[in-house]
Structure 1
Amino acid sequence: MKRIVFLILICLSFSKISAQEGFKLGLQAGLPVGDFNERIGVVIGADTGYMWAPNKTFDLGIKAGFIHGFSEEFREGTILEDLPSFQFLPLAGSVRIWPGKTFSFGADVGQALGLNKGNDGGFYLRPQVGFQVGPQSEVNFSYTSIDVNDEKWNTITLAYVYTFLSARHFR
């Protein structure tokens, strides 16, 4: 996995810079599905990254983020147990394909580092579909999967992403 991320970064460093590139900041909220459904109630997160647009059809980039899963309280009879929250720091390469001016699909692929006790993190995959809602903003729907020890962290999220255009765009 480290070799793949390294190769992506090298390829990106030689890509042609265009007017559509820029820093991206995204905020997301979602719900867990699968293995963590009964332990986690709500998920929030934030992403930041930089996307290059070699042409009008696709974007390539790098991203880093933070994901926090708020724990549920578990009650069995008269015993109340607070379950632990989960936090991740995903580091990923990104690709977006734009078949139209306002619609995109793609994925983030990389490694999610576990930040809480007993959480080693793991392989990170986040396929998504985006809809542009303004000249510099989009709303996207995504499915996040992280391999955590012997379980899968799966969530469905809704995100708002804002692009700060590069200085080249304004020249």
Structure 2
Amino acid sequence: MKKKTFVMVIIALVAVSFSSMAQRVDRTNFKAGVHLGIPFGDISDLSNFELGLDLGYHWGVSELIDAGIATGFMNAFINNDTADFGPVVVEGNFPNIQYVPVAGAFRIYPTYDFKIGADVGYAVGINDGNTGGLYVRPIIGANLNSTTEINISYVKISDDYDFSMAALGILFLF
């Protein structure tokens, strides 16, 4: 219940803070895409790859800056029934590790075709035993054309274990 209330408060704050920006700037973008991640850290003992969906809505704050909201779905596929955490080996039937991030997003555009930025918020744990945690995702992207972006990112979720990964994604702008 606390997790659900926390997520709703974040969504409300982000929506209220960006509603005034949307009134001042006429450029908006809905973004949807997918990414493929390679886990490392503690999670690499359980999973070899992650697949995710990215959704976002950005408002143009200026010619050089966008701000918005980001969400999606991340699923780290478990590769076996044994996890090796150094001296401790754990056996069992592990579920896929799943998160739904709820984040604020910002992008800086040094040029029209290149962008850097980050998504920062909370990743809600979906599978049993997953408590979720602070979500940070720095991103570097490049426009392939006016409606398609390719990006690389680093994802870090501060949970009971180290959920870190490098990801390659493609986004479509609507």
Note whether the superposition's TM-score is higher than 0.5: yes
CA contact (8 A) 2:30 2:58 kept: yes
The match for 1:142 is 153
1:10 Cα deviation from its structure 2 partner:
2.7
Scaled by the length of structure 2, the TM-score of the pair is 0.84
The match for 2:67 is 60
The one-letter amino acid paired with 1:83 is F
1:83 Cα deviation from its structure 2 partner:
3.1
Secondary structure (helix, strand or coil) at the match of 2:112 reads coil
Aligned CA RMSD, in angstroms, stands at: 2.1
Secondary structure (helix, strand or coil) at the match of 2:110 reads coil
Aligned length in residues: 159
Please state if 1:162 is matched with 2:162: no
1:17 Cα deviation from its structure 2 partner:
2.5
Scaled by the length of structure 1, the TM-score of the pair is 0.85
CA distance in 2, matches of 1:62, 1:12: 9
Closer, same or farther in 2 for the Cα pair 1:75/1:65, shift >3 Å? closer
Deviations 1:58-93 (A, max 9, x none): 1000111100000011469xxx85432100010000
Following superposition of structure 1 onto structure 2, how do residues 1-171 of structure 1 map, counting pairs within 5 Å? 7-15=13-21, 16-19=24-27, 21-74=28-81, 82-149=93-160, 151-164=161-174
CA contact (8 A) 2:11 2:102 kept: no
Secondary structure (helix, strand or coil) at the match of 2:111 reads coil
Percent of paired sites with the same residue: 33
1:138 Cα deviation from its structure 2 partner:
0.5
CA contact (8 A) 1:27 1:161 kept: yes
1:18 Cα deviation from its structure 2 partner:
2.2
CA distance in 2, matches of 1:6, 1:109: 15
The match for 1:169 is none
Deviations 1:18-67 (A, max 9, x none): 23x11110210011011111101210000112100021101000111100
CA contact (8 A) 1:130 1:141 kept: yes
Structure with the higher fraction of residues in helix conformation: 2
Structure 2: where are the runs of 5+ without partners? 1-5, 84-90
Deviations 1:76-113 (A, max 9, x none): 9xxx8543210001000000000111110000000000
The match for 1:168 is none
Structure 1: where are the runs of 5+ without partners? 165-171
The one-letter amino acid paired with 2:141 is G
Closer, same or farther in 2 for the Cα pair 1:75/1:48, shift >3 Å? closer
